[in-house]
Amino acid sequence: MSYVTFQDVCKYYHMGSQTIAAADHVTFTIKQGEFCVVVGPSGAGKTTVLNILGGMDSCDEGTVLLDGRKVSGMNEKELTSYRRHDVGFVFQFYNLVQNLTALENVELASEICKEPLPPEQVLDSVGLSARMDNFPAQLSGGEQQRVAIARALAKNPKILLCDEPTGALDYSTGKTILRLLQDCCRNMNKTVIVVTHNQALTPMADRVIHIHNGSVASIEENQTPIPVEQIEW
């Protein structure tokens, strides 16, 4: 049973007389609990796909479903509720509130949700139990990204969307963050979708969606995904 469905999704940007198809009949499915990597070169349309799935952008044609609910065609109010309750976001640059502690950053997210997880418990699960009262500036990049992941998880979302989550981190810290995302998938049964330009990450995924020129070039399913520690790039 598919949990996420994209069926012939199109998104056009108009630049003067030119029309750019950032998504050109994108079709794929993702199952519940899968770790999915969306990979492709710069400008391929990865972020466009993620933004449409995350309810931050709408598509011009096609159908988007999450857990049996139609996301395409939602009005602004429905999209706000969808973003708030159903989707956890992790971005490249963490986007933490600088004058709030790690704990307060996570509480901020859980306060606007229907069935949040306890913030302390989630921070503990990402390995930050000792740093809850620190401000972002007192934390390393990797630790800040852990706070951002905890903030996303505390909402208890249906899917976790991660856009280049290791883009601002060094090699080994990046690996620990990917490991954490892989653990969220395996241990918390979260459906995790990671957008990256890094082809080397594909063996760690259950499902790989290759995007080129706004279209799906190919989809692979790995029967035996590899722990990220065993991947070198």
Ligand X SMILES: Nc1ncnc2c1ncn2[C@@H]1O[C@H](COP(=O)(O)OP(=O)(O)OP(=O)(O)O)[C@@H](O)[C@H]1O
CB of 214 to ligand X, least distance (A): 7
In whole angstroms, what is the distance from residue 48 CA to residue 62 CA?
Answer: 14
CB of 3 to ligand X, least distance (A): 22
CB of 57 to ligand X, least distance (A): 8
∠ Cα 173 85 93 (to 5°): 30
CB of 56 to ligand X, least distance (A): 11
> Which helix H or strand E contains 219, and what residues bound it?
strand 215-221
In whole angstroms, what is the distance from residue 89 CA to residue 153 CA?
Answer: 9
Nearer to ligand X, 83 or 197 (CB): 197
CB of 172 to ligand X, least distance (A): 23
In whole angstroms, what is the distance from residue 204 CA to residue 19 CA?
Answer: 36
Nearer to ligand X, 34 or 163 (CB): 163
Q: How many CA atoms lie within 13 A of 230 on its CB side?
A: 8
Paired sense of beta strands 191-196 and 35-39, if any? parallel
Paired sense of beta strands 159-163 and 61-66, if any? unpaired
Nearer to ligand X, 106 or 192 (CB): 192
Contact 88, 159 (CB under 8 A): yes
Largest Cα–Cα distance in the chain? Answer: 55
CB of 49 to ligand X, least distance (A): 7
Residue-wise DSSP of 141-174: HHHHHHHHHHHHHHT--SEEEEESTTTTS-HHHH
Binding site for ligand X (CB under 6 A): 13, 15, 20, 22, 40, 42-48, 197
